């Protein structure tokens, strides 16, 4: 079968795809920032001696690690508004789903980094009269953060790919915009190939850039 | 706000959810089994010293790892039939894209295992007259398979979660049934929560097993 490629049709609507790309980047950045905050709090809860803090944090992490992201998207968009009595914009629901889900994964990154620092350092710093917060901020985190860069980058990379699911809530990110362009041009082959290449370029460039940062950081230590 | 939970809806919809669960498991087993075997073949091409095998294998792996799975599903359902000249059923398109996606990740796991064995073992096996295939089967694989097990279980868990995206192509798996039922009964809170729990029950044993396996292997080293 001979197929006539027609990328001109897609090129004609490239502005729509650019809007989508910006939507994807926005969603990813906001969710990464919020996810890191959620993750840090959950990690401290998981490391706490108090069971009342530890148990819910563990349940939170296990729940998110063992259920599919698409369920979270739909749950936040269709189910949560019923409980709290107000509805969300697709963007808000997507940010909630992505930042809580990635928060569970970031929590494991933080926890892994913190427990990788030997116990003796906590005890030593305590012996010098430092309190919990001072030890964490001045002794543990500066060392742990460097070790967390690689898993943190991996997680953010996964999160960025997951933003495509927001298309199912009609949030105007790259995949959703591609669907719109497709319904105008009837050129699925060109449209979906184009956005696959766009995703590839962005993700491939971002992951190589981060690998460079990672390499630099590992040499500083 | 006071919300009255309707548990009868859950009982009524359970048979359909179970039917969806069966399709989810079918999709999962099919994509995992073929993805593993295909992944092994790709990893052999990937570790080959011949450029015409090595190059395409790198391209294949990077392409699938640097684009969102959902975009791959959509591409295989809407764009690929144009090249193929025949329409694919939603199930076939989903199974195909999930298989290829899994194979790309499995190829990297196999490759990591294979290159972790010192070169000297290849040379030693060759010196006693073993062919490359024989060396792989009798010397290399027996040593690395156990070490790769946690990585493969993690892949299996990811795949189980990703099968839920097939719902967006209208494959009648668990998530699809859940969405259908929640709009039929107009009870998204109850039904989507139950869908999340069903996924959790399906996936949690796998990740529990994987965590235990990882601990045992770490203790042995």
Q: What average pLDDT does range B135-145 have in this prediction?
A: 90
Give the domain CATH number at A96. Answer: 1.10.3720.10
**Which 3 state secondary structure label does DSSP give B18?**
helix
Question: Whole-angstrom Cα distance, residue B123 to residue B95?
Answer: 40
Is A63 domain-assigned?
yes
Q: What is the pLDDT of residue A195?
A: 96
Between residues B35 and B119, the one the model is more confident about: B35
Question: By a Cβ cutoff of 8 Å, what residues of chain A touch chain B?
Answer: 1, 3, 62-63, 65-72, 74-75, 78-79, 82-85, 161-165, 167-168, 175, 182, 188-189, 191-193, 195-196, 199-200, 203-204, 207
- pLDDT tens, residue by residue, B174-216: 999 999 999 899 899 999 999 999 999 999 999 998 888 888 8
- Name the residue facing A66 among B69, B85, B204 (closest C-beta): B204
pTM above 0.80, yes or no: yes
- pLDDT tens, residue by residue, B39-49: 999 999 999 88
Say yes or no: B24 contacts chain A, CB-CB below 8 A.
Answer: no
pLDDT at A221 over 60: no
Is A46 domain-assigned?
yes
Domain total in chain A: 1
Question: Whole-angstrom Cα distance, residue B13 to residue B191?
Answer: 8
- pLDDT tens, residue by residue, A49-63: 999 999 999 999 999
Give the domain ranges of chain B: 8-220
Architecture of domain B8-220: Orthogonal Bundle (1.10)
Q: What is the CA radius of gyration of chain B?
A: 21
A121-130, A155-164, B158-167, range with the lowest pLDDT: A121-130
- Name the residue facing B188 among A79, A189, A196 (closest C-beta): A79
Is A168 domain-assigned?
yes
- Name the residue facing B67 among A62, A84, A200 (closest C-beta): A200
Is A2 domain-assigned?
no
User: In this structure, are residues B6 and B189 in contact, taking their beta carbons and an 8 Å threshold?
Assistant: no
Is A3 domain-assigned?
no
- pLDDT tens, residue by residue, B92-120: 999 999 999 999 999 999 999 999 988 89
Say yes or no: B211 contacts chain A, CB-CB below 8 A.
Answer: no
A23-32, B127-136, B154-163, range with the lowest pLDDT: B127-136
Say yes or no: B207 contacts chain A, CB-CB below 8 A.
Answer: yes
Tell me, rounded to whole angstroms, the distance of Cα A138 from its chain centroid.
27
Counting one residue from chain A and one from chain B, the pairs whose CB atoms sit within 8 A come to 116
Domain span at residue A151?
Answer: 8-220
């Amino acid at each position: 079968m001979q197929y006539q490629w027609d990328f001109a049709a897609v090129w004609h609507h490239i502005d729509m795809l650019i809007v989508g790309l910006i939507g994807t980047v926005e969603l990813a950045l906001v969710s990464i920032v919020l996810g890191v905050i959620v993750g840090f709090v959950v990690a401290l809860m998981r490391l706490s001696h108090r069971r009342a803090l530890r148990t819910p944090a563990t349940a939170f992490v296990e729940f998110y690690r063992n259920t599919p992201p698409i369920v979270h998207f739909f749950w936040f968009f269709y189910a949560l508004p019923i409980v709290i009595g107000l509805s969300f914009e697709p963007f808000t629901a997507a940010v909630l789903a992505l930042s809580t889900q990635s928060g569970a994964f970031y929590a494991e990154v933080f926890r892994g980094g913190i427990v990788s620092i030997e116990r003796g350092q906590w005890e030593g710093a305590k012996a010098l009269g430092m309190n919990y917060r001072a030890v964490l901020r001045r002794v543990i985190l500066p060392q742990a953060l460097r070790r967390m860069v690689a898993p943190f980058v991996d997680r953010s990379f996964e999160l960025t790919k997951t933003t495509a699911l927001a298309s199912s809530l009609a949030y105007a990110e790259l995949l959703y915009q591609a669907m719109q362009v497709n319904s105008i041009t009837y050129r699925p082959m060109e449209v979906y190939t184009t956005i696959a290449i766009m995703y590839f370029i962005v993700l491939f460039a971002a992951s190589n850039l981060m690998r460079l940062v990672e390499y630099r950081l590992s040499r500083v230590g | 706000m006071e919300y009255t939970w309707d548990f009868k809806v859950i009982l009524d919809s359970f048979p359909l959810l179970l039917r969806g669960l069966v399709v989810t498991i079918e999709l999962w087993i099919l994509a995992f089994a073929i993805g593993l075997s295909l992944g092994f073949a790709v990893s052999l091409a990937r570790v080959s010293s011949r450029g015409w095998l090595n190059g395409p294998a790198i391209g294949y792996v990077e392409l699938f790892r640097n684009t969102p799975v959902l975009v791959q599903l959509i591409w295989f359902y809407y764009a690929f039939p144009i090249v193929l000249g025949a329409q694919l059923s939603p199930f076939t398109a989903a199974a195909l894209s999930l298989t290829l996606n899994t194979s790309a990740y499995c190829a990297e796991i196999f490759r990591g295992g294979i290159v972790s064995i010192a070169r000297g073992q290849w040379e030693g096996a060759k010196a006693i007259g073993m062919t490359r295939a024989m060396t792989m089967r009798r010397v290399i694989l027996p040593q690395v398979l156990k070490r790769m097990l946690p990585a493969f279980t993690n892949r299996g868990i990811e795949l189980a979660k990703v099968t839920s995206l097939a719902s967006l192509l209208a494959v009648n798996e668990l998530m699809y049934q859940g969405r259908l039922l929640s709009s039929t009964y107009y009870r998204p809170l109850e039904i989507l929560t139950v869908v999340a729990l069903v996924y959790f029950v399906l996936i949690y044993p796998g990740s529990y097993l994987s965590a235990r396996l990882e601990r045992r292997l770490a203790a042995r080293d």
